[in-house]
């Protein structure tokens, strides 16, 4: 930690500050610059760095160490591979998770599942508890939806991914689901994070709408710190001033996250853009930039989907995407793994 002293601080004040820091067992080394004087403060920092800015004589504090530990690549240089049944996320193969935004009735859901499996998807997605901006929108089928997901797994063999929105759903998740998704709006719902940290199921953690990468990793740290190391990060677009797309997909987050952490990272082009017509080019870009997987919405009759039909690919478009990706993945692999 670097502590910048206030200009015009007296010798005496400066000494008092150094003593105070030393009394808390930090090692302190002073550097007098041309305009500023700074202290290098060494030791295990047990308080929020902003705390030190409240000390008398301190102008600014600059943290040097990263605030996350367990998710950091420094302590865990090898990339983590998260196993969901026989699907490995973060390994050599691109993982495509596909399905409707919300689980609707049984027959329709099963039909989509069969199709996406045939096209090469290895996990199935579908929401049973839907966090909706409006209280008047469809809020999901609840446990009925989870039951349908369980049937999907039984029939197709696809592991199922679904969103959890409250700690009270923990038992249901344990019972029915293979991967628990934490949505963007709940990325800093810390009670929920602690809860999924204890469940023991793999967690797909979406980046918040305006979360920095550091905050996103801190949320992952919450889950790991409860003992659950199976976290998959998912970038789904951030909020900017641009209005042609729902969000702005931050693909640079992929190499940045891979540099900072050992966790796998996947891309959700459907929520990022908010329109099916951008999903295919963005999915390709995600593969080229080095993402470990994709989360894609598919619906046979988008105009009848209960939720977010506009961003769902029709089955034939999904087929085309999967074909395109085959070529692309080979090209990307030929060039060697896209590592940070």
Residues of span 142-181 touching a second copy by CB under 8 A? 165-168
Contacts (CB under 8 A) with a second copy, residues 16-35: 29, 31-35
CA distance 320 to 339: 27
Whether the CB-CB separation of 270 and 302 falls below 8 Å is answered with no
Closer of 14 and 151 to a second copy (Cβ)? 14
Contacts (CB under 8 A) with a second copy, residues 237-266: 238-245, 248-256, 259
Closer of 156 and 186 to a second copy (Cβ)? 186
Least CB distance from residue 4 to a second copy, whole Å? 6
Write down how long the chain is.
Answer: 340
Give the three-state DSSP class for 300: coil
Applying CB under 8 A, which part among 82-90, 114-122, 173-181, 330-338 lies near a second copy?
A: 330-338
Sheet holding 37-42, edge to edge: 27-32, 37-42, 2-5, 58-62
Q: Is 191 in the site for a second copy (CB under 8 A)?
A: yes
Of positions 162, 189, 228, 261, contacts a second copy by CB under 8 A: 189
Of positions 24, 55, 83, 174, contacts a second copy by CB under 8 A: 55
- Taking CA atoms, 227 is separated from 83, 118, 213, in Å, by 16, 36, 22
Closer of 116 and 184 to a second copy (Cβ)? 184
CA distance 9 to 162: 57
Q: Is 107 in the site for a second copy (CB under 8 A)?
A: no
Least CB distance from residue 206 to a second copy, whole Å? 13
Contacts (CB under 8 A) with a second copy, residues 108-137: 131-137
Closer of 130 and 153 to a second copy (Cβ)? 130
Structure tokens at 187: 């990325």
User: Strand 123-125 vs strand 159-163: parallel, antiparallel, or unpaired?
Assistant: parallel
Give the DSSP H or E segment for 109: helix 106-119
Least CB distance from residue 25 to a second copy, whole Å? 12
Q: Is 289 in the site for a second copy (CB under 8 A)?
A: yes
Of positions 213, 234, 265, 266, contacts a second copy by CB under 8 A: 213
Choose among 26, 20, 89, 94: nearest CA to 58. Answer: 20
Give the three-state DSSP class for 131: coil
Q: Is 323 in the site for a second copy (CB under 8 A)?
A: yes
Choose among 246, 251, 195: nearest CA to 223. Answer: 195
Q: Is 338 in the site for a second copy (CB under 8 A)?
A: yes
**DSSP designation for 262:** S
Applying CB under 8 A, which part among 84-92, 109-117, 151-159, 303-311 lies near a second copy?
A: 303-311
Q: Is 290 in the site for a second copy (CB under 8 A)?
A: yes
CA distance 340 to 130: 35
Whether the CB-CB separation of 92 and 86 falls below 8 Å is answered with no
Q: Is 227 in the site for a second copy (CB under 8 A)?
A: no
By CB under 8 A, the count of residues binding a second copy is 108
Per-residue x/- track, 68-97, a second copy (CB under 8 A): ------x-----------------------
CA distance 204 to 258: 16
Closer of 151 and 289 to a second copy (Cβ)? 289
């Amino acid at each position: 930690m670097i502590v910048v002293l206030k200009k015009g601080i007296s010798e005496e004040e400066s000494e008092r500050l150094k003593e105070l820091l030393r009394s808390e067992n930090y090692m302190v080394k002073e550097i007098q610059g041309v305009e500023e004087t700074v202290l290098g403060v060494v030791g295990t920092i047990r308080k929020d760095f902003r705390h030190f800015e409240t000390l008398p004589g301190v102008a600014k504090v600059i943290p040097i160490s990263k605030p996350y530990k367990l998710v950091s690549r420094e302590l865990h240089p090898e990339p983590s591979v998260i196993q969901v049944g026989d699907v490995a996320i973060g390994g050599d193969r691109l993982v495509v998770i596909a399905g409707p935004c919300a689980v609707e009735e049984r027959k329709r859901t099963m039909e989509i599942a069969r199709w996406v499996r045939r096209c090469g998807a290895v996990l199935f997605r579908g929401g049973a508890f839907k966090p909706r901006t409006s209280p008047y929108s469809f809020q999901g089928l609840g446990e009925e939806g989870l039951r349908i997901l369980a049937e999907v797994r039984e029939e197709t063999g696809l592991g199922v991914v679904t969103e959890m929105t409250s700690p009270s759903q923990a038992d249901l998740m344990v019972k029915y689901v293979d991967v628990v998704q934490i949505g963007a709006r709940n990325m800093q719902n810390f009670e929920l994070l602690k809860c999924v940290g204890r469940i023991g199921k793999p967690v797909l953690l979406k980046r918040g709408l305006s979360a920095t990468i550091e905050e996103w990793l801190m949320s992952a740290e919450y889950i790991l710190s409860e003992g659950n190391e199976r976290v998959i990060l998912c970038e789904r677009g951030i909020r900017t001033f641009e209005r042609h797309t729902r969000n702005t997909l931050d693909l640079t987050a992929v190499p940045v996250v891979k540099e900072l952490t050992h966790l796998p990272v996947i891309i959700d082009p459907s929520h990022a853009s908010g329109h099916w017509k951008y999903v295919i080019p963005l999915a390709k870009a995600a593969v080229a930039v080095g993402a470990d997987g994709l989360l894609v919405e598919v619906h046979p009759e988008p105009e009848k989907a209960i939720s977010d039909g506009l961003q769902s690919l029709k089955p034939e478009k999904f087929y085309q995407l999967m074909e395109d990706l085959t070529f692309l993945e080979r090209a990307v692999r030929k060039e060697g793994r896209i590592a940070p």
